[in-house]
């Protein structure tokens, strides 16, 4: 068994996790260095969107399971179907495209779905905001189609290589914040971001986040995969390992996958080296 | 199959990452709240090796592979033998312990990962003990670390997991008496001015970098092994071996990283 790493490396300067007003850019500072202290350790600030991330209903519902409390069987060695769903920069993926892709992939009941648009295979060391601003996303009817498919097919885990479900944020935050020049939308904890969020009330949030929350009623979601081109269409196994933050509805995660080469999952007994 | 999550939760001021002068405690700041906005979003800050973590040679060696350069195949569904070596507070793991409990363990196959279960990491203890969970953890003596590495390399394995919160000598010469033993309000954590000042003075001549007497066993283990300390819930494992999956937070260029560990029980 050879696994492929589908996780976006977390890097300073990356656009991931710095464009929306509730995000704070990934930043590090050395605490100890090999040169001065004989060892390397560092300090981190980040938001979940700096990474590939796992999102659940708990972001809106305090009674829903947290990313730490999710049943590990849902995340570990999960049978999955890889669903090619090619999309171009800025494209809105339609319900028809979703239905057609799912029909072609023929996912097994209960499989995790890995929706591969190709966006995650672009150069993830390109630090321009384009990774976020130009990402494809699912239009409202496509989200409804996904919600129905998740419910009807028992797909309680859906992974995709786009950074956000419907492009960066919803229409309101895109119009009011995301489309501004970067110097007019300084990241959290800037006074600008805090002021914006004071005015980003429940009505705006409901409009922007409604489709995501509806989908989260049926399934856990993983956004921001990279390197999916390493996987062939068809069946595979995936493991999703979220950062073990207490009481969180969203957390950075690490995702690996491997081909389903047989009817049974292989394990590394008598593994040499390591 | 039963699956256990062996990872310490990250919560504000959790003990593993809140004691030593290089620690930056885990913190979480809400940027949006369910009460105000209807959804919750947040920012985190923490130390690169907070809680359960994957420690690798790069901590002490700039030429060694970094976290994002590892082949994760080595860390997924890895057959691992569970070795019981009970230890209490401040207990040391010695060469005799490994000769007695690991060398001829009936379930230890060549290539297996090794999970050293002292009992320290039973479910929930970290909340009961607070900072003493880190300060009084069982750990490895230098000779014990050397003997364990010798046995593991002979058996073709380099993956070590343990419920010890820290593996080295717990700063016994300098950082424990000068910093960790003090009351929390006398050792405000990084990025405080005090922590920065301490780290300016914490050089290899004063025990830093794994030098004796502060952390020597840690250097011995890092040189040849991948080490995952601070496991919890280990008392829930009921089989002599498990398949473990260890996946770190993929911090580009990191010399170690907080990680998530799942263990799947398998029949003997």
Tell me the whole-structure pTM to 2 decimals: 0.95
**Averaged pLDDT for residues B155-163:** 98
CB-CB neighbors (< 8 A) of B109 in chain A: 269-270
Task: Give the 3-state secondary structure of residue B159.
Answer: strand
Instruction: Mark yes or no for CB contact A258/B76 under 8 Å.
Output: yes
- Please report the domains of chain A, with CATH numbers, ordered by start residue: 4-8+51-170+211-259 (3.50.30.50)
CB-CB neighbors (< 8 A) of B190 in chain A: 31, 43
Question: What does pLDDT average to over chain B?
Answer: 95
Task: Give the 3-state secondary structure of residue A63.
Answer: coil
- The radius of gyration computed from the CA coordinates of chain B, to the nearest angstrom, equals 18
Number of residues assigned to chain B: 268
SS3 content of chain B, % helix, strand, coil (to 5): 30, 25, 50
Q: Which residues pair with B140 in a beta bridge?
A: B93
User: Residue B66 and residue B252: Cα distance in Å, rounded?
Assistant: 8
CB-CB neighbors (< 8 A) of A10 in chain B: 249-252
User: Residue B254 and residue A7: Cα distance in Å, rounded?
Assistant: 15
Q: Is the pLDDT score of A269 beyond 50?
A: no
- pLDDT digit string (tens) for B16-37? 999 999 999 999 999 999 999 9
- pLDDT digit string (tens) for B98-143? 999 999 999 999 999 999 999 999 998 999 999 999 999 999 999 9
pLDDT score recorded for residue A261: 73
pLDDT score recorded for residue A267: 38
Q: How far is B190 from chain A (nearest CA, A)?
A: 8
Orientation angle between helical segments A202-216 and A140-153, nearest 10 degrees: 40
Q: B166 touching A, CB under 8 A?
A: no
Domain layout of chain B by residue ranges: 3-9+48-188+204-265
Q: Contact, B237 vs B265, CB < 8 A? A: yes
Q: B95 touching A, CB under 8 A?
A: no
pLDDT band at B1 (very low <50, low <70, confident <90, very high): confident
Instruction: Mark yes or no for CB contact A243/B111 under 8 Å.
Output: no
**Averaged pLDDT for residues A46-71:** 97
Would you give the distance in Å from CA B187 to the centre of its chain? Answer: 22
Measured from the Cβ of residue B235, the count of other Cβ atoms closer than 10 Å reads 15
Instruction: Mark yes or no for CB contact A39/B38 under 8 Å.
Output: no
**Averaged pLDDT for residues B94-101:** 98
Q: How far is A57 from chain B (nearest CA, A)?
A: 9
Paired sense of beta strands B256-265 and B241-248, if any: antiparallel
User: Residue B136 and residue B166: Cα distance in Å, rounded?
Assistant: 9
Instruction: Mark yes or no for CB contact B3/A34 under 8 Å.
Output: no
Q: Is the pLDDT score of B268 beyond 90?
A: no
Q: Where are the alpha helices (DSSP H) in A26-105?
A: 34-37, 72-75, 95-105
CA distances from B226 to B113, B132, B158 (A): 10, 25, 6
Measured on CA atoms in the order A256, A260, A264, A267, is the torsion positive or negative? Answer: negative
Would you give the distance in Å from CA B194 to the centre of its chain? Answer: 25
pLDDT score recorded for residue A273: 31
Residue (of B169, B180, B136) closest to B20 by Cα position: B180
b/e sequence A240-262, b meaning 16+ C-beta within 10 Å: bbbbbbbebbbbbbbbbbbbbee
Q: Contact, B248 vs B55, CB < 8 A? A: no
pLDDT score recorded for residue B263: 98
Question: What does pLDDT average to over chain A?
Answer: 92
Residue (of A24, A25, A22) closest to A11 by Cα position: A25
Q: How far is A73 from chain B (nearest CA, A)?
A: 7
Mutation site, A30, A39, A65, A127, interface B, largest B CB count within 10 A: A39
CB-CB neighbors (< 8 A) of A7 in chain B: 250
B196: left (phi over 0), alpha (psi -120 to 50) or beta: alpha
**A-proximal residues of B, 211-230, CB under 8 Å:** 211, 226
Q: For the CA atoms of B184, B190, B193, B195, what is the dihedral angle to 10 degrees?
A: 70
What single DSSP character describes residue A135?
Answer: -
User: Residue B19 and residue B13: Cα distance in Å, rounded?
Assistant: 9
Instruction: Mark yes or no for CB contact A40/B39 under 8 Å.
Output: no
ipTM score: 0.96
Q: Contact, A167 vs A177, CB < 8 A? A: no
Q: Contact, A67 vs A54, CB < 8 A? A: yes
- pLDDT digit string (tens) for B55-91? 999 999 999 999 999 999 999 999 999 999 999 999 9
Instruction: Mark yes or no for CB contact B77/A267 under 8 Å.
Output: yes
Cβ neighbours of residue B183 closer than 8 Å, sequence gap 6 or more:
none
Mutation site, B38, B191, B233, interface A, largest A CB count within 10 A: B38
Residue (of B79, B82, B43, B254) closest to B162 by Cα position: B82
pLDDT score recorded for residue A229: 93
pLDDT score recorded for residue B213: 84
Task: Between A274 and A83, name the one with better pLDDT.
Answer: A83
User: Residue B254 and residue A172: Cα distance in Å, rounded?
Assistant: 37
**Averaged pLDDT for residues B168-175:** 91
Query: What is the DSSP code string of B240-260?
Result: SEEEEEEEE--BTT-SEEEEE
Burial class (CB within 10 angstroms; exposed 0-12, middle 13-18, buried 19+) of A115: buried
Q: How far is A100 from chain B (nearest CA, A)?
A: 32
Fold topology of B3-9+48-188+204-265: Glucose Oxidase; domain 1 (3.50.30)
pLDDT band at A124 (very low <50, low <70, confident <90, very high): low
pLDDT score recorded for residue A31: 96
Q: For the CA atoms of B75, B81, B84, B89, what is the dihedral angle to 10 degrees?
A: -10
**A to B CB pairs, distance under 8 Å:** 251
CB-CB neighbors (< 8 A) of B48 in chain A: 28, 41-44
Q: B158 touching A, CB under 8 A?
A: yes
Q: For the CA atoms of A204, A207, A213, A214, what is the dihedral angle to 10 degrees?
A: 160
**Across chain B, which distance is largest between two alpha carbons, in Å?**
60
What single DSSP character describes residue A65?
Answer: P
Locate the chain A residue with the closest alpha carbon to B196.
A31
Q: How far is A97 from chain B (nearest CA, A)?
A: 29
Locate the chain B residue with the closest alpha carbon to A41.
B48
DSSP H or E stretch at residue B44: strand B41-47
Mutation site, B1, B2, B5, interface A, largest A CB count within 10 A: B5
pLDDT score recorded for residue A125: 67
């Amino acid at each position: 068994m050879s696994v492929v790493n589908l996780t976006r490396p977390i890097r300073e300067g990356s656009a991931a996790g710095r464009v929306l007003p509730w995000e704070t850019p990934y930043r590090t500072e050395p605490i100890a260095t090999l040169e001065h202290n004989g060892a390397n350790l560092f300090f981190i600030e980040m938001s979940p969107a700096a990474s590939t991330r796992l999102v659940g209903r708990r972001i809106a519902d305090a009674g829903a399971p947290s990313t730490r409390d999710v049943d590990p069987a849902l995340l570990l060695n999960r049978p999955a179907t890889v669903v090619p769903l090619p999309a171009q920069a800025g494209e809105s993926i339609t319900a028809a495209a979703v239905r057609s892709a799912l029909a072609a992939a023929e996912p097994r009941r209960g499989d995790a779905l890995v929706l591969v648009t190709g966006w995650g295979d672009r150069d993830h060391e390109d630090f321009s905001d384009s990774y976020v601003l130009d990402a494809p996303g699912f239009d409202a009817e496509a989200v409804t189609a996904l919600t129905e498919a998740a419910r009807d097919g028992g797909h309680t885990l859906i992974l995709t290589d786009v950074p956000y479900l419907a492009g960066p944020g919803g229409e309101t935050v895109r119009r009011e914040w995301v489309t501004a020049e970067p110097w007019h939308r300084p990241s959290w904890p800037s006074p600008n971001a805090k002021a914006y969020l004071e005015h980003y009330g429940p009505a705006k949030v409901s409009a922007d986040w409604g489709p995501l929350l509806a989908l989260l009623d049926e399934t856990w979601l993983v956004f921001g995969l990279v390197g999916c081109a390493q996987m062939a269409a068809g069946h595979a196994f995936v493991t999703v390992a979220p950062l073990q933050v207490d009481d969180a509805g969203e957390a950075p995660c690490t995702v690996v996958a491997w081909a389903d080469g047989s009817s049974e999952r292989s394990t590394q007994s008598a593994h040499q080296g390591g | 199959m039963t699956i256990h999550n062996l990872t310490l939760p990250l919560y504000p001021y959790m003990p593993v990452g809140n004691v030593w002068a290089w620690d930056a405690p885990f913190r979480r700041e809400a940027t949006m709240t369910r009460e105000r906005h209807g959804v919750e979003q947040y920012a985190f800050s923490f130390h690169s090796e907070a809680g359960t973590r994957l420690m690798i040679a790069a901590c002490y060696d700039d030429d060694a592979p970094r976290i994002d350069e590892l082949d994760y195949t080595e860390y997924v569904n890895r057959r691992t033998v569970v070795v019981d070596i009970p230890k209490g507070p401040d207990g040391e793991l010695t060469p005799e312990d490994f000769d007695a409990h690991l060398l001829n363990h009936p379930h230890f196959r060549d290539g297996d990962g090794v999970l050293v279960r002292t009992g320290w990491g039973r479910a929930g203890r970290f909340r009961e003990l607070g900072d003493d969970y880190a300060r009084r953890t069982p750990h490895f003596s230098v000779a014990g670390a050397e003997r364990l590495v010798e046995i593991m390399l002979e058996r073709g394995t380099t993956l070590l997991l343990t419920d010890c919160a820290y593996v080295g000598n717990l700063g016994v010469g300098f950082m424990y008496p000068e910093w960790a033993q003090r009351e929390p309000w006398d050792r405000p954590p990084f990025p405080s001015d005090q922590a920065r000042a301490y780290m300016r003075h914490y050089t290899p001549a004063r025990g830093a970098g794994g030098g004796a007497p502060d952390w020597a066993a840690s250097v011995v283990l890092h040189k040849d092994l991948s080490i995952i300390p601070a496991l919890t819930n280990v008392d829930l494992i009921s089989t002599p071996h498990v398949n473990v999956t260890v996946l770190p937070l993929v911090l580009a260029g990191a010399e170690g990283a907080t990680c998530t560990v799942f263990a799947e029980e398998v029949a003997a």
